[in-house]
Amino acid sequence: MMNAKNDTKAKFANYRRILESKAEEVRDSLSKQKAAQVVSRLDVPSDEGDLSQQHHEEWLFLNRNSIEMQLLREISDALKRIELGSYGVCPECEEDISSKRLDAVPWARYCVTCQDLVAARIEAGDFDGALEGASR
C-alpha cells in the first residue's frame, strides 16, 4: 500500500517532468548566454563607444542571468516540494493550488490569491518571510 507521500509524488509526476525539462532549458540558455558573452567581448575596446557598448551588454547579460537563476531556484524548490509531498499546497492558506495555475506556472509556490497578497506585502516593504519564492 502506498503512503500519502508516494501518492503525491505519483499525482505530480507530469509536473516533475515539466519542471525537469524547464530546468534543463534554463541551464542550457544560461550556458549559451555565457558563451555568447565570452565570444562577443572585445579584448581591447577601440574607443569609448565600444567600451560603453560592452558595459551595456554585460549589464544585460547579468540581468538576464539573475532572472534565469531565480527561475532555476524556484524550479528546484518546486521539485523539492514534490519530494517532500507539499507540492501543490499553498503554504499561506494551506489550500490546494489549482491545476490551472500549476499548468501555467508549475513552479508556483502560492495560490493566485495568496500570491497577490505576498506581492502586495513585498511592495509595501514587509519583507519578513515574504520574499522566499514569492516572485511567481
Task: Provide the pLDDT for residue 133.
Answer: 45
The mean per-residue pLDDT over the stretch 64-86 comes to 90
Query: What is the Cα–Cα distance from 80 to 66, expressed in whole angstroms?
Result: 21
pLDDT for the residue numbered 34? 65
Whole-structure pTM value = 0.67
Same domain, 59 and 73: yes
Segment 46-71, tens digit of pLDDT: 677 766 676 666 666 666 777 888 99
- Determine contact, residues 21/52, Cβ cutoff 8 Å: no
| 94 and 58 co-located in one domain | no
**Single residue among 68, 87, 106 that ends a domain in this structure:** 87
Distance CA 124, CA 119 (A): 9
